[in-house]
Amino acid sequence: MSAFISFENVKKTYHMGEIDIHALDDVSFEIQQGEFVIIAGASGAGKSTILNLLGGMDTVSEGRIIVDGREISSYKEKDMTLYRRYDVGFVFQFYNLVPNLTAKENVELALQICKEPLDAVQVLKEVGLGNRLDNFPAQLSGGEQQRVALARALVNKPQYILADEPTGNLDPENSWEIMKLLEKVNEQGTTVIVVTHNMEIVKAMNKRVITMKKGVKVEDSKGEEQTDEY
């Protein structure tokens, strides 16, 4: 069976005047359905570039990206919009909730035309916010806001969750809770991809880690084999 997600010799080059910046230089990896994968690396390693390409927010310079048998790297704008909207469940560092909508309304807002969308209240209960449905983002802690963001991503039953530094704005306790929640979502069958530079999280989670350095994949391993270097 072919992989759920595959990066095939992906290159991304930014042209800055006379200079070429190789944000990704011949990166290949495969992710199977149901996996939990962390993409790690220091600032400038190419993590955001991977996230933007995989999430359909940018296009490759060379190579191919296949998701669920479809070559998204050849998609035109219209297909890319549909892919971003229906297939990917995004979770961002700064939650990006609408401040004048309650937790429940924020999740409901995300409900798209989906054959069988999940129930917003039910999903909020699953992320532990059953008692905070009518609170506005400003009345919620950072960790709770990120839970709302996760519920918003889950309500459309995305093909996979793509989380960009989901703990970047949280204290260690809340970070751990969000990661545990992502793990639970994964155990229920959703593929989860987390992009982070936080090595504490990487070590604690003990998951498969793809480590990037200066645009190159330098390691792809389970947590136990992870080195401190990146």
Chain residues that interact with ligand ADP, rule: CB under 6 A: 14, 16, 21, 23, 41, 43-49
Calculate the CA 18 to chain-centre distance: 33
Minimum Å gap between C-beta 149 and ligand ADP is 19
Give the nearer residue to ligand ADP in terms of CB position, either 128 or 168: 168
Instruction: Note whether 46 and 24 are within 8 A (CB).
Output: yes
Q: Which is nearer to ligand ADP, 49 or 156 (CB)?
A: 49
Question: What does the chain come to in residues?
Answer: 230
The CB-of-198 to ligand ADP minimum distance in angstroms stands at: 12
Closest CB to ligand ADP among residues 32, 48 = 48
Q: Which residues contact 8 (CB under 8 A, 6 or more apart)?
A: 28, 63, 64, 65, 66
Q: Which is nearer to ligand ADP, 41 or 166 (CB)?
A: 41
Distance CA 215, CA 203 (A): 22
Distance of CA 226 to the CA centre of its chain: 21
Which residue, 44 or 117, is less far from ligand ADP as judged by CB?
44
- In 3-state terms the chain splits into helix, strand, coil percentages (rounded to 5) of 35, 30, 40
Least spacing, CB of residue 3 vs ligand ADP, in Å: 22
Shortest distance, position 21 Cβ to ligand ADP, whole Å: 5
Minimum distance from residue 145 beta carbon to ligand ADP (Å): 22
